[in-house]
């Protein structure tokens, strides 16, 4: 293809995508809408669900953590309507499983109350002092607060730190971070200055296991406050854990991606795009075209709103 630079070609190679990236202005043939039109199309598959995922409801996430262990509400309104922007209501099922590690989370209500009104720096300190999730706070080497500059208008929400992030105290610095950074650079977006990167959990789950619902709920106050302070124009939810936690749904990433959802931040509905997690893309490189389209959608929304 004529007209692309060596740098672009290098990024494409790094992302293992080559000419698959062309045709970005076309309708996404893999979006749920296009698939729905094609009655013969097969359902998009995502990574196999773990037992924990199949049983997970995430119904405790994003309640103030001080209300943990109380009966969850059976309904929760979330702004996540692709076409109409009308709030959609999801029925929340009661939690069926007991927390996998009972008693592991003991929230410090006073710390969380302070977090609700903290500035960025104070919030970072409060996160570093948090020991609510016993297993995580005992095994972590560092808390991973996030990368953000005041100029960032887009926020990417990932899952939780992995080994490299735990070692360095920064989000997305391992292999999946490399891929994420390549995607951003190929879109002309700078990590930090244009795009803030934060995670649902600030501590690494031992052996990179999925975060438990009560851990997500315990960390929700921090994430909510981060979003309030960042006041983004566009949010990208990277993978199942982030989209389930923030959209309050159990739909697969394949079904949620390719459309615009909305999450309420500071009383405003913020356009939100769901995409595959980079670590899933590393295992399933053919899905990178979907991520490319999702990030293009996010960038288009950003340009429209800037």
Contacting positions for ligand URA (CB under 6 A): 144, 158-162, 165, 171-172, 176, 199
> 258: left (phi > 0), else alpha (psi -120 to 50), else beta?
left
To ligand URA, the closest distance from the beta carbon of 279 in angstroms equals 6
To ligand URA, the closest distance from the beta carbon of 157 in angstroms equals 8
Is 164 or 194 the residue whose CB approaches ligand URA more closely? 164
To ligand URA, the closest distance from the beta carbon of 161 in angstroms equals 5
Is 80 or 143 the residue whose CB approaches ligand URA more closely? 143
Is 165 or 181 the residue whose CB approaches ligand URA more closely? 165
Residue 28 burial (C-beta neighbours within 10 Å; 0-12, 13-18, 19+): buried
Phi, psi of 26 (to 5 degrees): -75, 165
Query: Which residue of the chain is nearest ligand URA when measured via CB?
Result: 158
To ligand URA, the closest distance from the beta carbon of 181 in angstroms equals 12
Is 14 or 167 the residue whose CB approaches ligand URA more closely? 167
Q: How far apart are CA 132 and CA 166, in angstroms?
A: 17
Q: How far apart are CA 203 and CA 133, in angstroms?
A: 9
How distant, in Å, are the alpha carbons of 133, 196, 201 from that of 213?
A: 11, 24, 11
To ligand URA, the closest distance from the beta carbon of 169 in angstroms equals 10
DSSP string, 135-204: HHHHH-SS----B--TT--EEEEES---HHHHHHTSSS-SHHHHHHHHHHHHTT--BTTTEEEEES-SSP
Q: For the chain, where are the E strands, in sequence order?
A: 75-78, 88-91, 154-158, 195-199, 234-238, 260-265, 268-275
Is 32 or 158 the residue whose CB approaches ligand URA more closely? 158
Is 72 or 239 the residue whose CB approaches ligand URA more closely? 239
To ligand URA, the closest distance from the beta carbon of 20 in angstroms equals 23
To ligand URA, the closest distance from the beta carbon of 121 in angstroms equals 20
Q: How far apart are CA 44 and CA 23, in angstroms?
A: 20
Q: Quick check: 253 and 46 in contact, CB under 8 A?
A: yes
- Closest CA relative to residue 189, chosen from 21, 14, 11: 11
To ligand URA, the closest distance from the beta carbon of 41 in angstroms equals 29
Is 232 or 278 the residue whose CB approaches ligand URA more closely? 278
Q: How far apart are CA 110 and CA 112, in angstroms?
A: 5
What angle in degrees, to the nearest 10, is found between the helix axes of 175-186 and 288-305?
A: 50
């Amino acid at each position: 293809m004529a007209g692309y630079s060596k740098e672009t070609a290098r990024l494409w190679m790094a992302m293992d995508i080559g000419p698959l990236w062309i045709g970005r202005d076309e309708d996404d043939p893999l979006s749920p809408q296009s698939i729905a039109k094609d009655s013969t199309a097969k359902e998009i598959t995502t990574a196999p669900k773990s037992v924990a995922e199949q049983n997970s409801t995430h119904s405790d996430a994003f309640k103030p953590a001080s209300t943990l262990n109380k009966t969850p509400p059976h309904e929760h309104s979330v702004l996540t309507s692709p076409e109409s922007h009308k709030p959609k209501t999801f029925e929340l099922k009661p939690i069926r499983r007991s927390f996998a590690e009972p008693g592991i989370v003991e929230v410090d209500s006073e710390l969380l109350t302070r977090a609700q009104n903290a500035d960025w720096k104070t919030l970072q300190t409060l996160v570093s002092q948090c020991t609510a999730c016993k297993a995580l706070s005992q095994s972590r080497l560092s808390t991973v607060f996030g990368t953000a500059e005041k100029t960032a208008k887009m926020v990417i929400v990932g899952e939780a730190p992995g080994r490299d992030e735990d070692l360095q105290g920064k989000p997305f610095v391992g292999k999946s971070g490399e891929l994420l950074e390549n995607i951003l650079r190929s879109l002309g977006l700078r990590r930090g200055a244009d795009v803030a990167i934060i995670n649902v959990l600030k501590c690494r789950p031992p052996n990179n296991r999925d975060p438990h619902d009560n851990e997500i709920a315990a960390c929700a106050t921090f994430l909510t406050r981060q979003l309030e302070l960042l006041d983004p124009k566009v949010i990208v939810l990277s993978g199942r854990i982030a989209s389930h936690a923030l959209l309050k749904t159990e739909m697969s990433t394949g079904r949620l991606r390719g459309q615009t959802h909305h999450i309420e931040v500071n009383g405003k509905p913020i356009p939100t795009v769901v995409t595959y997690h980079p670590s899933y893309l590393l295992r399933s490189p053919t899905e990178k075209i979907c991520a490319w389209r999702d990030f293009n959608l996010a960038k288009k929304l950003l340009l429209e709103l800037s």
